[in-house]
Structure 1
Amino acid sequence: MTVSLQDLRVKIDAIDKQMITLLAERFQLTEEVGQYKAEHQLPSQDAAREAQQFQKIAELSEQHGLNPEYASEIYRCIMDVVIARHQELLMKVKV
């Protein structure tokens, strides 16, 4: 049985919805982390934590047959947004 292009797109749309839901949940949690860091005058970026995260992302990517470079690029974008937001929160506390 052949799957139609429309069927494939419906499946992709469902996955996109799940991804956005999870991304929103992740951003809510990172917002809380940013507020904590700002309140405690911690730096907005943690290089050691980032290195751990990228290592885990690479391992998970390989386990699922995904090119680790692709996943790392996506996570770099996510982390850049989070770090920028943490910097904003830190600046608000300093003012």
Structure 2
Amino acid sequence: MKASKLDELRQDIDQLDQEMISLLAKRFQLTEEVGIYKATHKLAAQDSGREQQQFDKIRRLAESRKLDGEHASVIYRCIMDLAIARHKEIEQAHKESASIL
């Protein structure tokens, strides 16, 4: 039986979901390294100046691809909030291990 157009579209979405998860995993691996670097060098877990630059870039990039810039910003706010929360966890763990020594 031939797959319907809906089935084909869903298969394409499933493929994109796999690629997006792979890219998110790579992104979070890098932000983990950033968190460790920040904790080691006593840098703040959150950098509002960098965030603003990133959001400006994300909006421009999204709009250049015909994606609503505000929608992209909402998605990236979630991603960044998770990374920041992890940076704070790493920072706290680093402080606790330093106080033991």
After TM superposition, is the score higher than 0.5?
yes
Taking the TM superposition and a 5 Å limit, the aligned residue runs for 1:1-80 are: 4-80=5-81
1:24 maps to a residue whose letter is A
5+ long unaligned stretches in structure 2: 97-101
User: How many percent identity over aligned positions?
Assistant: 57
Give 1:36 shift: 0.3
- Runs of 4+ displaced beyond 2 Å: none
Q: TM-score, normalised by structure 2?
A: 0.90
Give 1:55 shift: 0.4
Count of residue correspondences: 93
Q: TM-score, normalised by structure 1?
A: 0.96
Partner of 2:99: none
- Within 2, Cα distance between the matches of 1:56 and 1:88? 27
5+ long unaligned stretches in structure 1: none
Q: Which has the larger radius of gyration?
A: 2
Deviation per CA, 1:47-81: give whole Å up to 9, x if none: 11000100000000110000011000000000000
Over the aligned positions, Cα root-mean-square deviation in angstroms equals 0.8
SS at match of 2:46: coil
- Within 2, Cα distance between the matches of 1:55 and 1:49? 10
